[in-house]
Amino acid sequence: MQALTSLTFGQRFLQLPSVFHRAVQPQPLSQPHLVAANTPLCLQFGIQAETLTAPAAMALLSGNRLADGMQPLAAVYAGHQFGVFVPQLGDGRALLLGDTTDIHGQRWEWQLKGAGLTPFSRMGDGRAVLRSTIREYLCSEAMHGLGIPTTRALAMVGSPDPVYREQVETAAVLTRLAESFIRFGSFEVFYHRGQHDEIRILADFLIHHHFPDCAEQAQPYAALFSEIVGRTARLIAQWQAVGFCHGVMNTDNMSVLGLTLDYGPFGFMDGFNAAHVCNHSDHSGRYAYNQQPQVGLWNLHCLASAFLPLVDEEALLAALSAYREQYAQCWMSLMRSKLGLATLQEEDEELVEALLLAMHAHRTDYTVFFRRLADFVPGEDNAQLRDLFLDRSLFDAWAARYAARLQLESRPAAERRPAMLAVNPKYILRNYLAEQAIQAAQQDDFSLIARLHDCLQRPFDEQAHYQDLAAEPPAWAQEISVSCSS
């Protein structure tokens, strides 16, 4: 075991020319205190989470000191925000501290989010509020627990420093980790400026560090683009299957590694609503749940434009045209598993669509339904499931189809049930749970954050002591409003 401050860092991002980044020192928070520490992720770096409260570790996590080799910088990028191109964005409040290797030999980039002004802060203050930091911390780790690619959260510190949003709130800093934070917009910025050499340099950097297999291909840049298309398709299929809405799928929030990135007004669905919009500022519903797959493709088209100097148009279009099929295949395979189907039948897609239509009509709780479906018995009335639908006949009609479909499976129910429980989570980060954790934290009680984090690491396990965290939302949860303000 070692101390956080004795880790040694490099900064491979500095291999990129100076147009890619600006050196920025973090602006310390005053009187920092630890809000949460991610024990398993700390252990992955040989650190005991308990040692993060040591003054030197706290200083590092709050931007007051650096570890050996850290060279903080803000990266430049652009992006299509709600369909409109914004030529320059960049890390406005996140600083890339450097990169280091975990005990498995994997290299991770470390960022401080909310560490103060950068040259890209525009109208912002470079800060993050405790509320949104808790949401990002918990959701990154919930996604990880669900097996969905995501940036990670190592630790979170709070401070009494005021931050001005709709109301005065307090500041926090999140230490977040990823193999890379490079976004679609990291390419777009240079395409817009006509700096085609930089596009090539960035693609080479990505291939070298993250997609070494592409280097072996006849057309490495085309292979890189195809790989990003595939990862994006699979990521969004996973979001859909678990009922997750990202909320702000601007191209600057799209990871080229296919990670869930930049948690803002995200939401896991409670009652199923195909057109659910989790971001109250998204008036047109551009990023509604049922739009996400299509938005993924739209965003990939933006990225394809930026790849034009590297790859001929035909190859880009061919890669883009594979998206729908890759998405549909991945999504159907996930939905089949959720239904406990081990074989493949043509009618499966209709069976899933019919179910989603019925769930949409009744706003059936998405997570509860699929969890209970593991106990479905063909020919019985399945009251536990049936009661989730106001119009019981709608469920009965679907249940009859499902029962008939199960007849085509040779897998015995005793095998199907555990297989379904292993893919249909019992615990998700419902909005009301995040809200309760935030309200307690604002009164200096961080215990619910720790409980949620612990529970959400194993979302498929029963975990008797966390039954309360599987409860459907209380009535007041309807009133929770999540905006871009963070």
Smallest Cα–Cα separation from 111: which of 44, 22, 205, 178? 178
260 touches ligand AMP by CB under 6 A: no
CB atoms within 10 A of CB 346: 6
Smallest Cα–Cα separation from 183: which of 266, 306, 343? 306
Q: Where are the beta strands (DSSP E) in 114-195?
A: 128-129, 152-164, 168-178
Binder of residue 426, out of Mg ion, ligand AMP, none (CB less than 5 to 8 A by kind): none
The tokens for 24 are 């920025």
Smallest Cα–Cα separation from 95: which of 37, 145, 151, 24? 24
176 touches ligand AMP by CB under 6 A: no
Q: Is 252 part of the annotated catalytic residue set?
A: yes
CB atoms within 10 A of CB 339: 22
Q: Which of residues 242-271 bind Mg ion (CB under 5 A)?
A: 253, 262
Smallest Cα–Cα separation from 93: which of 265, 292, 322, 262? 262
The tokens for 390 are 């106001």
Binder of residue 198, out of ligand AMP, Mg ion, none (CB less than 5 to 8 A by kind): none
> Closest distance between ligand AMP and the C-beta of residue 393, in Å?
44
Tell the burial category of 110 from Cβ atoms under 10 Å away from its Cβ (0-12, 13-18, 19+). buried
Q: Which is nearer to ligand AMP, 274 or 484 (CB)?
A: 484
Part of the chain binding ligand AMP (CB under 6 A), chosen from 122-130, 325-333, 378-386, 428-436? 122-130
Single-letter amino acid code for the residue at 204: D
Q: Which is nearer to ligand AMP, 42 or 257 (CB)?
A: 257
> Closest distance between Mg ion and the C-beta of residue 177, in Å?
16
140 touches Mg ion by CB under 5 A: no
CB atoms within 10 A of CB 293: 19
75 touches ligand AMP by CB under 6 A: no
182 touches ligand AMP by CB under 6 A: no
Rg (CA), the chain: 23
Per-residue x/- mask for ligand AMP, residues 91 to 120, rule CB under 6 A? xxx---------------------------
Part of the chain binding ligand AMP (CB under 6 A), chosen from 124-132, 277-285, 298-306, 456-464? 124-132
Query: What residues line the site for ligand AMP (CB under 6 A)?
Result: 89-93, 121, 124-127, 248, 250, 252-253, 262, 264
Query: What residues line the site for Mg ion (CB under 5 A)?
Result: 253, 262
Q: Cite the active site residues.
A: 252
